[in-house]
C-alpha cells in the first residue's frame, strides 16, 4: 500500500535564514541513507494557513519502508546533526500519513 507523508511547517521569520540550508542537509543525509523518496516542497501563496507556511510531501511504498527509514535516521550522524538544528526554526509543525485511496478501498 503506498503512503503519502506530509509535513506542514510554519517557519519563524528568523528561520528563513537557515531553512534552505537545513533542508539541503536533510536531503544529503537521506540520499546517503538510500531508499528515501525525494520531498516535494511547496510554499503557501494564498489560503487559510499562516504566512511562512511550507509543506513537503513524499510517497512511500509501505509502512515498512517508513519504519526502516526511521530506524536509519535515529542512528545517522548527519541526520541527527540536522535534526538538532530544527529548534527555533519552526513555530508549528504537523506530520501526517495518508493511505493511497485506491489501495485503501481495495483492501
Block means of pLDDT (10 residues each) for the chain, 107 residues, are 94 88 95 96 91 95 96 96 89 92 77
Retrieve residue 34's grid coordinates: 538510500
**pLDDT at position 103, please?**
74
CATH of 3-106, picked from 3.40.50.1370, 3.30.70.100, 3.40.50.920, 3.90.79.10, is 3.30.70.100
Phi, psi of 88 (to 5 degrees): 90, -10
**pLDDT at position 76, please?**
96
CA distance 4 to 59: 4
Domain boundaries, the chain: 3-106
**pLDDT at position 36, please?**
97
The CA-CA-CA angle for residues 57, 24, 33, to 5°, reads 75
**pLDDT at position 68, please?**
96
Query: Among 14, 5, 13, 11, which Cα is nearest to 66's?
Result: 5
CA distance 46 to 54: 12
Q: What is the pTM of this model?
A: 0.86
Amino acid at each position: 500500500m503506498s503512503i503519502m507523508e506530509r509535513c506542514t511547517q510554519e517557519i519563524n521569520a528568523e528561520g528563513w535564514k537557515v531553512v534552505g540550508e537545513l533542508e539541503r542537509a536533510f536531503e544529503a543525509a537521506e540520499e546517503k541513507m538510500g531508499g528515501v523518496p525525494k520531498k516535494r516542497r511547496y510554499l503557501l501563496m494564498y489560503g487559510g494557513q499562516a504566512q511562512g507556511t511550507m509543506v513537503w510531501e513524499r510517497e512511500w511504498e509501505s509502512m515498512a519502508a517508513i519504519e526502516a527509514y526511521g530506524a536509519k535516521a535515529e542512528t545517522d550522524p548527519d541526520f541527527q546533526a540536522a535534526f538538532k538544528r530544527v529548534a527555533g526554526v519552526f513555530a508549528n509543525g504537523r506530520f501526517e500519513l495518508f493511505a493511497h485511496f485506491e489501495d485503501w478501498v481495495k483492501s
